[in-house]
Chain A
Amino acid sequence: MTRALRALLFAAGLTLLAAACGDGDSTTATDSPSTTSASHTDGRSDHDHADQREVDAASAPTLVIEVLEDRTSGWNLHATLTDFTLAPQRVSTDHVDGEGHMHVYVDGVKLGRVYGEWFHLGQLDPGDRHIRVELSGNDHAQLTLDGEPIEAEAMVAVPEPAGDSHGHGHGETALIEATEPLPTLALEVIPDPAGGWTLHAVPTNFRLAPENVSTDHVDGEGHMHLYIDGEKVTRLYGDWLQLPALAPGHHDIRVELSANDHSVVAVDGVAVDATVMVMVEGADESGDAESSAGHDHSADTGSTGEPTRFDADVADAVQTIEIALVGGQPEGGAEKVKVDAGSVVAFLLTSDTDDTVHVHGYDILRTVSASGSAHFAFTAEIPGVFEVELEGSHQLILELEIS
């Protein structure tokens, strides 16, 4: 069922791409207003977090931004930070000194959260635009130094759109074959404890190169495109993104790899992509949570996807444990895997059924959907033997021996 749906959506996505062939710019141009409007909605709800937190002057973070016009379409934000770690995996949790995310405002209106040093602003209205970025703690408190927000501003002059809004004739192709080592993509959508959703997309054998976006194709580098329900929403320049507000109901969140020149990276003619289905609860959608992949309220602990203090960046992983689940069972049976205590371990799970993966002891719960995969990492701080289990069926997937 889900597979069929996914195939259908994928086909729809391809059709859209095919339709946009030779008209690559307009794809982004057409869709960027939806980013803006969706984020505005979110921005209003975010105004509740009006708290401020003074940082220690000795280790005060600094922020410098530049706003660059994209050669294809829209505008890119580049933030340079010191003494500050972007920690999207811990957003909406307790404050940690020197950690958090950024908020971006256009003409005083909040566009959304920024989880990486590069961010695609999309199209901006013609005229002089005031871009402001400020630092925020994990708990959304505005960070201040001597009572002043830590922020950076830039003014950009957005030109009137040129007369020929229909493509610039790059002659780009829709698909470009990837070279060895073949890239893959893991995707998860995590509920934000404060509401909304966080997207976590991790490509392997693929370098995210926002600095080279809209330039010539280079094998093995580029960025990613985000589609929601088949519609292109924005570009991803980093692993993490705050999803725009979603209406109640099912949503297909698809991310695909894109080359610098915006052609779609493919293997054997098939785009390298990953899809996760998210179920957004709403007043008139109750009782339909069972089939949800993104937010499973029936899970035992009810804390699926909740950040834990062990969460780590998959990029730091010294060991990646790959598990293929077939029919809700680990291919080749449940193994015992030895892990060094204190090291960062990543899981890369693929499954043909929807379920929730539970790392016992650490109580990390992550969803894995039939059409996607789960890629997450944590610091193996607690020594001992821990089971990794599917919560739905209580099927043992693996035992972790951490010593």
Chain B
Amino acid sequence: MNTLAHGIGSRGDLPLPLTALVVGALSAIIISFVVLTVAWGHPRFDGLATGRVLGRTDGVAGRVFVTAGRLFGLLVVVVGLGAGIWVTDNQWENITPRLVYVLLWVIVPLLSFVFGDIWRWISPFEALAALRDRVVGEEAGGADAGASRLTLFVPAAGLLVFHWVELAYHASASARILAWMLGAWIVMSTYAALRYGGEGLRSRDPLAVWSRLIGAGGPIFVRGSEWGVRAPFVGLSQVPVQPGIALAIMIVLGGTTFDGVTRTDWWRDIMGTRVGWGATAVNTIGLLLTISVLLVLFLTAIRMMQRAAGTDDSTYDDVFASALLPVAVGYSIAHYFSLAVFEGQFLWIQASDPFARGWDLFGFRSERPNYTFISTTVVAWVQAMGIIIGHLAGVVVGHDRALSELPPNRFERSQLPLIALMMTLTCFGLFLLVEA
């Protein structure tokens, strides 16, 4: 059993002080009601999301930038797979566990939240898809119209498998298992890129889906072959409503929550001395239960909204799911910020000798990670702020969504269940950090 995040990592965060819980919960309640009462009365995000176009991606500079990014992405995928297959299977010599769990799963999404869809820039599969689109021509119907027709159940299943390996499987840090996972992902994404092109890829590759959803709220956007900037969060109103999007978001939110649960004394008592497949079995039940509980809470809130609004619009689940994206990002920041900062240092240390051949490509081989350059106080602040700002953004996005979707006369009352759900998630998220 390894209770630290992802089965890798040397240093865990200290529990948050109880005052953080109280302050965080109070802020969540105040923010929620301020937004409800004084915020704007007409949907504004759709208008703001247009943003300001700053340039084209198909100019010379754009091409060089995109090519460099994709070469980097290709290198990451190739090194990850190669090291995963051939290099000694331990996390000190093998770079694959940190490439997968720190770079791809934590750093790429967190950067996407700050800057916009990072994976779309560095994904080597995007290069394949672009090639295919140039030869075959893009799917009829154009870029954005295509996305809402595609379901996200396949990437949702992919995210569930990833979380199972990460959080439930007893040898989660095994490079061999990760090599299998990377291999399957590469085959799947290559197929999706060549068969369906860029638009299809972005709804099939699980990492592309997650990076796209998170990155939608980022201030940098790419639309067609143009790129530009816009206010943060407003792009979340533009996330295409695809069947399965709620499931995908709840799986990631559930995974992060379960990671928090496994760090509590309560879960430690349940695990006892179980190891191997016994531990895997208990963790699997825990992971599925956590996701199920969140799904039930979410669906209950949505049904209550529908009743209050007097509709039975079956797309409500997926329409309002994007309001939970900032909450999920807040959870990720709270749980994985220090992992990215501290374990991320291993990335360049290990990249100096990626195949454990005694190389020292960048001169960092014998460096040791600095576990003290960000103090525990700063980490605790980032954790608490991550959850609170995630909550704020979630409530604002939910409010804007509600304005455009709910009937105006029943608007305030029908918005309450969603806000109640977010307050519950925020308080529970903070509670897990206090109990950690």
Contact = CB atoms under 8 A, between A and B. Distances in A.
Interface of A: 300-301, 329-330, 333-334, 336, 360-361, 363, 381-387, 389, 393-396, 399, 401, 403
3 nearest A-B pairs in the assembled complex, by CB-CB distance: A385-B12, A361-B10, A384-B11
Contact of A403 (B2, B3, B11, B14): B14
Contacts of B272: 333
A403 B11 CA distance: 12
Interface of B: 1-4, 10-15, 90-92, 265, 268-269, 272-273, 275, 338, 368, 371-372, 375-376, 436
A382 B265 contact: no
B2 A394 contact: yes
A387 B371 contact: no
B11 A382 contact: yes
Contacts of A394: 1-2, 275
Of B91, B338, B372, the most chain A CB neighbours within 10 A belong to B372
Contacts of A382: 11, 371-372
Nearest to A332: B273
A386 B376 CA distance: 13
15 contacts: A301-B90, A301-B92, A333-B272, A333-B273, A334-B273, A360-B4, A360-B10, A361-B371, A363-B10, A385-B11, A386-B11, A387-B2, A394-B275, A399-B3, A403-B376
A363 B1 CA distance: 18
A396 B11 CA distance: 14
Given A383-B376, A387-B3, 19 more contacts: A301-B90, A329-B273, A333-B268, A333-B273, A334-B273, A361-B371, A381-B372, A382-B372, A383-B372, A384-B338, A385-B13, A387-B2, A393-B275, A396-B3, A399-B3, A401-B14, A401-B15, A403-B14, A403-B376
B410 to A, nearest CB: 47
A304 to B, nearest CB: 13
A383 B373 CA distance: 11
A363 B265 CA distance: 24
Contacts of A334: 1, 268, 273
A385 B1 contact: no
B6 to A, nearest CB: 13
Contact of B4 (A300, A387, A395): A387
A384 B13 contact: yes
A188 B372 CA distance: 30
Contacts of A361: 10-11, 371
Nearest to A362: B10
A386 B272 CA distance: 18
A387 to B, nearest CB: 6
Contacts of B371: 361, 382, 384
Contacts of A336: 265, 268
Contacts of B273: 329-330, 333-334
A389 B13 CA distance: 18
B11 to A, nearest CB: 4
Max chain A CB contacts within 10 Å: which of B1, B91, B338?
Answer: B1
Contacts of A387: 2-4, 10, 12
A340 to B, nearest CB: 12
A400 to B, nearest CB: 10
A362 to B, nearest CB: 8
Contacts of A300: 90-92
Nearest to B91: A300
A381 B370 CA distance: 12
Contacts of A401: 14-15
A401 B10 CA distance: 12
A386 B372 CA distance: 13
B100 to A, nearest CB: 18
Contact of A384 (B265, B269, B275, B376): B376
A383 B13 CA distance: 8
Nearest to B89: A300
B2 A384 contact: no
Nearest to B15: A401
Nearest to A386: B11
Given A300-B92, A301-B92, A333-B273, A386 B10 contact: yes
Nearest to B90: A300
A361 B342 CA distance: 10
A41 B15 CA distance: 54
A204 B422 CA distance: 56
A336 B376 CA distance: 18
Contacts of B14: 383-385, 401, 403
Most buried by A among B13, B90, B273, B436: B273
Contacts of A403: 14, 376
B277 to A, nearest CB: 14
A386 B2 contact: no
A401 B269 CA distance: 17
B1 A396 contact: yes
Nearest to B379: A384
Contacts of A385: 4, 11-14, 436
A337 B89 CA distance: 30
Nearest to B436: A385
B373 to A, nearest CB: 11
A393 B2 CA distance: 11
Nearest to A393: B275
B399 to A, nearest CB: 37
A352 to B, nearest CB: 15
A363 B367 CA distance: 13
A396 B268 CA distance: 11
Contacts of A363: 10, 368
Given A384-B376, A385-B14, A386-B12, A396 B2 contact: yes
Contacts of B1: 334, 394-396
Nearest to A359: B10
Nearest to A330: B273
A396 B13 CA distance: 17
